[in-house]
Amino acid sequence: MHSLSKLGLAGTLAWTASAVLAAPPAIVTQGKGAAIACAICHGEEGGGNAQAGYPALARLPAAYIAKQLADFKAGTRRNAVMSPIAAALQAEDVDAAARYFADLPRPKPAAVAADAALVARGKDLANSGDWGRQIPPCFKCHATDGTGVPPHFPPIAGQNAPYTEAQLKAWQAGTRANDPQKLMRTVARHLTADDVRAVAAYLATLGPQEGTK
């Protein structure tokens, strides 16, 4: 039923592409109690919402998604919208949603107007870092072109800029403190506000990425 309606709604999708997509679980499309449907903010295809800064979830490793939800629940990662939803989620729904989004191809992010110099600076930081300021390149841990190294280093390419920017600021402020070994908090501490904007703008220009699960 779901795959049928998907075919009807997204007629532009090639039949072969839609045929391999699994039907989304109920938690994604309908939600359960206080845990509202994932799709409302993240989209049924997991593309997120760039304007609102809701992250793309497609292609994030299932173990990574499950860990984030557990961390929201535990309070090591805090967000006004997501924390209460995570607290209301049941284990089987976490598992179902995580597996569903991990299997989706990451949609091409919406084109954003970004300052070319800013994007170039972000590209430099992502590829080479700036060791004089103790900034390692993003792509050393998140893999070439930011496709991610599962399960701990998520894909960062093709993520929307407002979300990436908010996360880097959250690492800096400590409202996100769920990184293993303080790796991201340490890197973020060395980034200026301009670095953050530059990296976020550049990463949003990449993709869609196949990445790895």
Which residues, including other chains, have CB under 8 Å from residue 26's CB and lie 6 or more apart?
A: 32, 96
Q: Compare residues 54 and 153 and give the one whose CB is closer to another protein.
A: 153
- Look at residues 200, 192, 124 and name the one whose alpha carbon lies nearest to residue 164: 200
Q: How many residues of this chain interact with another protein, rule: CB under 8 A?
A: 22
Q: Are 8 and 66 in contact (CB under 8 A)?
A: no
Taking the complex as a whole, the smallest distance from the CB of residue 112 to another protein amounts, in Å, to 24
Taking the complex as a whole, the smallest distance from the CB of residue 85 to another protein amounts, in Å, to 28
Taking the complex as a whole, the smallest distance from the CB of residue 136 to another protein amounts, in Å, to 4
Q: Are 204 and 131 in contact (CB under 8 A)?
A: no
What backbone torsions phi and psi does residue 126 show, to the nearest 5 degrees? -65, -35
Residue 108 binds to another protein (criterion: CB under 8 A):
no
Footprint of another protein on 126-155 (CB under 8 A): 128-129, 131-132, 134, 136, 140-141, 143-144, 147-149, 152
Q: How many CB atoms lie within 10 A of CB 68?
A: 23
Residue 118 binds to another protein (criterion: CB under 8 A):
no
Binding site for another protein (CB under 8 A): 124, 128-129, 131-132, 134, 136, 140-141, 143-144, 147-149, 152, 180-183, 186-187, 212
